[in-house]
Structure 1
Amino acid sequence: MNRRKMMTSVAAVLTSASAIHPGTAQSESRMPKSTSPKPVPPVARKVPKRTEQLGRVRVDDYAWMKDDNWQKVLRDPTLIKAEVKEHLTAENAYQKAMLAPTEPLQKAMFEEMKGRIKEDDSSVPAPDGPFEYYSRFNIGGQHPIFCRRPKGALGGKTDGEEVLLDADALAKGKAYSQVSAADHSPDHTLFAYAEDAQGSEVHHIYVKDLATGEILKEPVESSTGDFAWSPDSRWLFWTHRDDNGRSDKIYRRPARGGLKDDVLVYEEPDDGFFVSVGVTGSDAFIIISAGDHETSETLLIPASDPTAAPKVVEPRTVGLRYSLEHWDGRFVILTNADQAIDFKLVEAPVETPGRAHWKDFVAHKPGTFITGLSAYKNHLVRLERVNANTRIVITERASKTEKPIVIDEEAYVLSVEGGYEFDTPVMRYVYQSPTTPRQWFDYDMVTGEKTLRKTQEIPSGHDPAAYVTRRLYAKAPDGADVPITVLMKKGVALDGAAPLLLYGYGSYGMSMDPSFSIRNLSLVDRGWIWATAHVRGGSEKGYGWFLDGRKFTKKNTFTDFIACAEHLHAAGYGAKGRTVAYGGSAGGMLMGAITNLRPDLWSGIIGAVPFVDVLNTMSDTSLPLTPPEWPEWGNPLEDKEAYDYIASYSPYDNVAAKPYPAVLATGGLSDPRVTYWEPEKWTAKLREHTTSGDPILLKINMEAGHGGASGRFDFLKEIALDYAFAVWAVDKGWTKA
């Protein structure tokens, strides 16, 4: 976490992006016939591995694909054993050969997406004392340039701009480089940044002296990239990353110190918990947060005494979640205490912040999910989600009156953008919808006046009036109403002829908000319908929506998605044989499950870094993040019910002789979250069992991790390949040879 005042949050919020280039002819989406010999898919050797567990037995023919030295491979992909590398290389070659006819379309889509990016774009400057801080891109640059200038400057290099970090220069000569966090010290003399140089999410944190331009020696090593400056600028607090990818410790070092100066501040004893560090908006406290998917705990260090031992606010209780802000001389706490399933706000004295002293401040209202909290000197801002849309509510300190910010549209998203200043009447928020590019507003919380600071520029042109966003609802098998957000061009006939891409995620309480995207338009402009299924497991309809799609209710996620597809088809939005399903990470698990359950519905499946080997992964404590994941999926090592339930849906374990649709699975060799062998094993098993003859493809990025390529343009090439595959799958391009 950097020092910008980010919202205190209880729910992770994932914002996807999408967009299109007007006027592209639909005929361009047809695949040219290939004149080359048909490529032959790799055949993976089978080495049965028998596992006995809780009285159950399973056999895995492709377990050998997991490198015995996998932890070192994540840090240095060149160490992968020859047999695995040979197979992955063959898979990549087969995928490339099969999709060779789509390369002109991939290139066209990439250029369209790139054409929607303002190459020299810059963020809206955030004021802090005598400066305002921002990031910008150079034309042709892949990575941001972090800058500052005197407050009130007109902008530009000739108006006092100072470059704090050139991430393009930092990445030069590296196959992968990602600056995951960057922040200046409160006294404006130092600049810290966290770099992942492998895609493995192992970060080094560097500190730069802004007076001399020198990088201080001995960077922080083995960090998650999470850090915070103490408000007095004397200390840097940072989060340690263990060998399993878990944030397990908080250290403190002098601002200009080195490795020998690191002092352990907090060590998390529960291997299922993660820790993070931040600062309250008031700068009065340093916050250490610990938690898993269902329980949390907060510890505080007074900013006036940053070397003091952290003190617990309320000891952890299974199922109790809370986070806090310091406001108006007290703590305001966001919590699910007292069966407040969609959370409420309570207040507590600074001297006695424990639960025994909590007093309701904003009562629980079922169906109104309070997702975030941000404090300013005279105002408190909360973010709420109601029926898959968001709203902002501002509370004035003296009068306790509330002002809501709501948009009158079917589907949209509002978000609060963090700033540095606490004593300000101005709150910055962002509005967007699937048809409308992002708009940044500065909102005066005293007068209610708003000032448009920036509209996302689409250089190649974009007319929101040329598109339609709709909110539909599908009826799940148990009667639940599942929201669907649809984006399409105006005039698209709802007769089933238009191809449909249905996107889904549905895990960890992450909401797939209806945001604007420069990417999805490359399909929509070709006559496609883009739809997002807001399935259970996400929190679009509240925290209960999340709980109804996890652990022993996980199958609701899959049946919700299938219900959405059937509802769309019945209403003329796409049809069988003209529908591609798309999801990544835990959304890739959704893809694997719905492929097993209803292979007839899809012409293609895109599983990006798919979590498909659920039973084996949740049974292997040596793997990254396994114990912390048990609250989400269950523990099949100790619980027979959890074993049997996971085994009944785990995509890899349920592959059988079926007419599977075309599949594209992608992964990253240094991915610590969904390890490379999951998509590798899945595609090998699918190819072995499918009865349809439709191709099963695997693409492994040999130089990246969970997030794919690090450069903003290189990443678009990966998306263009996914979308070209979708067109190819609907068109059955492999039959055109």
Structure 2
Amino acid sequence: MNPPIAAKHPVALEAHGITRQDDYAWLRADNWQEVMRDPSTLAPEIRAHLEAENAYTKAEMADTEALQAALFKEMRARIKEDDSSVPAPDGPYAYASRYLEGAEQPRIVRTAREGGPETVLLDVDAMAKGHAYYEIGGADHSPDHALIAWAYDDKGSEAYTLRVREAETGIDLPDAIETTTGGAVWAADSRTLFYTVLDDNHRPCRIYRHKVGSPIDEDVLVFEETNPGFFLGIGQTQSGRYLLVDSHDHETSEVHLIDAEAPEAPPRLVAPRRPAEEYDVDHNGDTLYILTNADGAEDFKIVTAPVANPGRENWTDLVPHQPGRLILGLTVYKDFMVRLEREGGLPRIVIRQLASGEEHAIAFDEEAYSLGLGDGYEFDTTMLRFTYSSMTTPSRVYDYDMATRERVLRKEQEVPSGHDASLYVTRRVFVPAGDGETVPISLLYRKDTPLDGSAPLLLYGYGSYGITIPASFSITRLSLVDRGVIYAIAHIRGGKDKGFRWYADGRREKKQNSFRDFIAAGEYLAAEGFTARGKIVGWGGSAGGMLMGAVANMAPDLFGGIVAEVPFVDVLNTMLDATLPLTPPEWPEWGNPIESVADYQSIAAYSPYDNVGAKAYPPILAIGGLTDPRVTYWEPAKWVAKLRATKTNDAPLLLKTNMDAGHGGASGRFDSLKETAFATAFVLKVADRA
């Protein structure tokens, strides 16, 4: 079957006196906002091209269909199908999610705190029947436990319809609010609800107050963010006393407080926004606890401020800034403050007794692991829930008594088909980058895998927004490792793996450090005999897909294959289009090429789509989602069209567009496994392990 050849309709694009030609701009639907909400409105010629690409991809992968089925079967066999979360107590009840055997989606349930009969609050699997895509955005119970605010998205566009349900009867009230972000927060009266809506360009920009049972058109606008570069959200302190109206981009934030006991009072500002200054807020008594990078605290510090007068002039250091110790988050309970931090590239939890100031840490001994704070509803408690896993250790959920320091294992991830951790090795190595930095790499492989250069290696990377990819357990990557593939995560610049500086050194005009770090990681792993040049398969999604596009341009012969999921590859055109959902908020991350010629030139130098060249590219699988509001479907479509017209070899080049989903792919747990099995089969095929 011949690959689809996209028509060329050249468009001249000019900025800062520089003219570019875009042959495939026509793949961007003029009515993209409408397509997000109703995919059937996509122009026929665009749909025909995407469907032709899907047909070609299916044909090219036909020889792996048996492998895909085998991979899906073994991945599914590692899932405990009738699984449930550890119930989270809140007053008289405990809330949990639970899967029935064979169900794609969970049930949201509750029981009495002491146990007993279960009440099904939301049977998401039943609700999803008949929908190609169905995702729950949130299920938040009211303080009196009588009502559930829940939201659903049935397009994959992340535009959620908010509903209110009676907990005991399961009856949905007439209240139905469309085009929300999915989450909602209750005031103390259990009848007032706050929610965030999306504008026509899919940006969360307004917060409304709703009285249950009242007409939606009577909802009150509480706060509006007029700067298109800032997104708006609504949250709540652990104490439940204050709602938090949060305006933010990728480096600046501003918080307003709403008293949950006086929901009609206007929001009250904590501290006005300052460029490149972030802060998050929690609460106890008359005091706010604020995590911030103010006053040069690059790796963040914790300050306190009086609720009555919380401005910066009244901030007092509680946990001072310590370079190299990145504080990631904090939660304040009645008697304790908990912070999650990272030092030396590894996470730890630190407990502080508020009355005495005494601190102690929870840490683990493996070379690479993942640690996270669990979500709890209660404030007056000594119990902290956290999760732990490593690349060889399945996830464990612990309850930890902050007063007695007793740790209780509440749940360990079951792998029904069996998992013997002793068969595997997890390691951390440090790779010298070209400028003297060292890049951490987390490795997983079977003990019997030869380290003589003969093994293929999957190298995963992200490296943007300060996001750290955890060295956590995954049932799906075992299917690669058990077939002799080494799995590696490159913790490149652009993440916060080594502190905030690691992030700052991989964004804006320093973005290419991310790409160079990833290439250096691959070169090192080949030189040290873990693999060899040409045996490395790169894998990244979203901004990690941009990484894949960039390194494919820069070092194509290093890779034996590339998997780019929802890849952000048309960077320059996207950052020049202020109407797209994420563009204005992301100028701090990438630069603003509309206002700055230097930013334009910086982005143009690496934007994968703009730097496709006449060269031999490795096999590439690009995956997109038609209703994706984050990385629009036309980015991978344009990229593949240009690669196909430009590259000089006949290595496989495949585009798969999910016509029924968005950024996260399929919504069901088994449907999503099928997508993972497909991409894994591609990796094994190009690695000669199929």
The TM-score, its normalising length taken from structure 2, stands at: 0.99
Structure 1 residue 328 displacement after superposition: 4.7
1:368 aligns with 2:325: yes
One of 289, 295, 311 as aligned partner of 1:354: 311
Structure 1 residue 152 displacement after superposition: 1.6
- Cα deviation 1:369-392 (Å, max 9, x = unaligned): 000101111100000012321100
Q: CA RMSD in A?
A: 1.0
- Cα deviation 1:682-735 (Å, max 9, x = unaligned): 0111111111210110000010000000000000111111111011112298xx
Equivalent residues of 2:243, 2:259 under 8 A apart = yes
One of 61, 74, 78 as aligned partner of 2:40: 78
In structure 2, distance between residues paired with 1:695 and 1:433: 34
- Cα deviation 1:372-414 (Å, max 9, x = unaligned): 1011111000000123211000001211100100101110111
Equivalent residues of 1:244, 1:625 under 8 A apart = no
- Structure 1 counterpart of 2:78: 116
- Structure 1 counterpart of 2:589: 632
Equivalent residues of 2:82, 2:101 under 8 A apart = yes
Q: AA paired with 1:441? A: Y
Q: AA paired with 2:477? A: N
3-state SS in 1 of match to 2:487:
strand
In structure 1, distance between residues paired with 2:98 and 2:331: 26
1:97 aligns with 2:59: yes
Structure 1 residue 584 displacement after superposition: 0.3
Structure 1 residue 461 displacement after superposition: 0.5
- Structure 2 counterpart of 1:662: 619
3-state SS in 1 of match to 2:605:
helix
- Structure 1 counterpart of 2:482: 525
Equivalent residues of 2:626, 2:632 under 8 A apart = yes
Equivalent residues of 2:506, 2:513 under 8 A apart = yes
In structure 2, distance between residues paired with 1:203 and 1:590: 30
- Structure 2 counterpart of 1:36: none
Matches within 5 A, 1:604-683: 604-683=561-640
Structure 1 residue 128 displacement after superposition: 0.8
1:508 aligns with 2:465: yes
- Cα deviation 1:473-524 (Å, max 9, x = unaligned): 1111111111000000112121011110000000011110111101100000
Q: AA paired with 1:579? A: I
Equivalent residues of 1:328, 1:397 under 8 A apart = no
Equivalent residues of 1:672, 1:705 under 8 A apart = yes
More displaced stretch, 638-647 vs 228-237? 228-237
In structure 1, distance between residues paired with 2:264 and 2:280: 22
- Structure 2 counterpart of 1:26: none
Q: AA paired with 2:49? A: H
In structure 2, distance between residues paired with 1:66 and 1:414: 40
Structure 1 residue 52 displacement after superposition: 1.2
Matches within 5 A, 1:311-330: 311-330=268-287
Matches within 5 A, 1:263-662: 263-662=220-619
In structure 2, distance between residues paired with 1:440 and 1:92: 40
More displaced stretch, 67-76 vs 362-371? 67-76
Structure 1 residue 97 displacement after superposition: 0.4
- Structure 1 counterpart of 2:102: 140
Q: With CA pairs under 8 Å and 6+ residues apart, which has the higher RCO, 1 or 2?
A: 1
3-state SS in 2 of match to 1:102:
helix
Q: AA paired with 2:493? A: R
- Structure 2 counterpart of 1:247: 204
Equivalent residues of 1:488, 1:527 under 8 A apart = yes
In structure 2, distance between residues paired with 1:540 and 1:245: 31
3-state SS in 1 of match to 2:302:
strand
1:690 aligns with 2:690: no
Structure 1 residue 256 displacement after superposition: 3.3
Q: AA paired with 1:483? A: P
In structure 1, distance between residues paired with 2:335 and 2:625: 46
Q: AA paired with 2:246? A: S
More displaced stretch, 660-669 vs 326-335? 326-335
- Structure 2 counterpart of 1:61: 23
In structure 2, distance between residues paired with 1:646 and 1:566: 25
3-state SS in 2 of match to 1:569:
helix
In structure 2, distance between residues paired with 1:522 and 1:328: 51
3-state SS in 2 of match to 1:631:
helix
- Structure 1 counterpart of 2:678: 721
- Structure 2 counterpart of 1:237: 194
In structure 2, distance between residues paired with 1:226 and 1:218: 15
In structure 1, distance between residues paired with 2:394 and 2:299: 30
In structure 2, distance between residues paired with 1:231 and 1:79: 43
In structure 2, distance between residues paired with 1:258 and 1:443: 45
Structure 1 residue 471 displacement after superposition: 0.3
3-state SS in 1 of match to 2:173:
coil
Gaps of 5+ in 2: none
Structure 1 residue 527 displacement after superposition: 0.7
Q: AA paired with 1:279? A: Q
In structure 2, distance between residues paired with 1:689 and 1:453: 55
Q: AA paired with 1:543? A: F
- Structure 1 counterpart of 2:2: 40
In structure 2, distance between residues paired with 1:117 and 1:172: 22
Q: AA paired with 1:90? A: A
Equivalent residues of 1:237, 1:253 under 8 A apart = yes
3-state SS in 2 of match to 1:392:
strand
3-state SS in 2 of match to 1:603:
strand
Structure 1 residue 230 displacement after superposition: 1.1
- Structure 2 counterpart of 1:131: 93
- Structure 1 counterpart of 2:141: 184
More displaced stretch, 667-676 vs 203-212? 203-212
In structure 2, distance between residues paired with 1:304 and 1:399: 30
- Cα deviation 1:527-546 (Å, max 9, x = unaligned): 11000000011111111111
3-state SS in 1 of match to 2:296:
coil
Equivalent residues of 2:187, 2:261 under 8 A apart = no
Equivalent residues of 1:579, 1:601 under 8 A apart = yes
Instruction: Calculate percent identity across the aligned residue pairs.
Output: 55
In structure 2, distance between residues paired with 1:213 and 1:177: 19
3-state SS in 1 of match to 2:295:
coil
In structure 1, distance between residues paired with 2:323 and 2:682: 42
In structure 2, distance between residues paired with 1:397 and 1:73: 52
In structure 1, distance between residues paired with 2:109 and 2:586: 38
In structure 1, distance between residues paired with 2:212 and 2:475: 40
Structure 1 residue 447 displacement after superposition: 0.5
Structure 1 residue 213 displacement after superposition: 2.4
The TM-score, its normalising length taken from structure 1, stands at: 0.93
Equivalent residues of 1:219, 1:258 under 8 A apart = no
- Structure 2 counterpart of 1:27: none
Equivalent residues of 1:499, 1:575 under 8 A apart = yes
